[in-house]
Amino acid sequence: MDMTDTSPEQIDVKNQPLEWRDGDMPYSPAFGDHFYCQTDGRLECGHVFLSGNGLPYRWTGRDSFKIGELGFGTGLNFAETWRRWKELRADGQHLHFMSFELYPMQRDEIDRALAHWSEIDAERAALAAAWPDRPEGIVSLDLDRQTRLSVVCGAAIDGVSAAAADFDAWYLDGFAPSRNADMWSEQLMRLVFEKTVSGGSFATYAAAGFVRRNLIAAGFALERRPGFAGKREMLCGVKP
Ligand X SMILES: C[S@@+](CC[C@H](N)C(=O)[O-])C[C@H]1O[C@@H](n2cnc3c(N)ncnc32)[C@H](O)[C@@H]1O
Q: Does residue 172 belong to the site contacting ligand X (CB under 6 A)?
A: no
Burial class (CB in 10 A: 0-12, 13-18, 19+), 137: exposed
Q: How many residues does the chain have?
A: 240
Q: Under DSSP, is residue 92 helix (H, G, I), strand (E, B) or coil?
A: coil
Among 32, 35, 184, 212, binds ligand X (CB under 6 A): 35
17 vs 199 by CB, closer to ligand X? 17
Residue 149 CB, shortest distance to ligand X, in Å, is 12
- Using CB under 6 A as the binding rule, the residues of this chain from 71 to 130 that contact ligand X are 71-77, 100-103
Among 36, 131, 202, 220, binds ligand X (CB under 6 A): 36
Rounded to whole angstroms, how far apart are CA atoms 203 and 89?
21
Least separation in angstroms between residue 41's CB and ligand X is 7
Query: Whose Cβ is closer to ligand X: residue 100's or residue 202's?
Result: 100
Distance from C-alpha of 118 to C-alpha of 213, rounded to nearest angstrom: 39
Q: How far is the CB of 61 from ligand X (least distance, A)?
A: 27
Choose which of 11, 115, 155, 208 interacts with ligand X (CB under 6 A).
155
Sign, Cα dihedral of 227, 208, 58, 111: negative
Contacts to ligand X from residues 181-240, by CB under 6 A: 182-183
Q: Does the footprint of ligand X cover residue 44 (CB under 6 A)?
A: no
> Integer distance in angstroms from the first to the last C-alpha of the chain?
46
**Residue 173 makes contact with ligand X by CB under 6 A:** yes
Question: Residue 103's closest CA among 46, 175, 24, 23?
Answer: 175
Instruction: State how far the Cα of 193 lies from the Cα of 165, in Å rounded to an integer.
Output: 9
Residues that bind ligand X (CB under 6 A): 16, 35-36, 71-77, 100-103, 155-156, 173-175, 180, 182-183
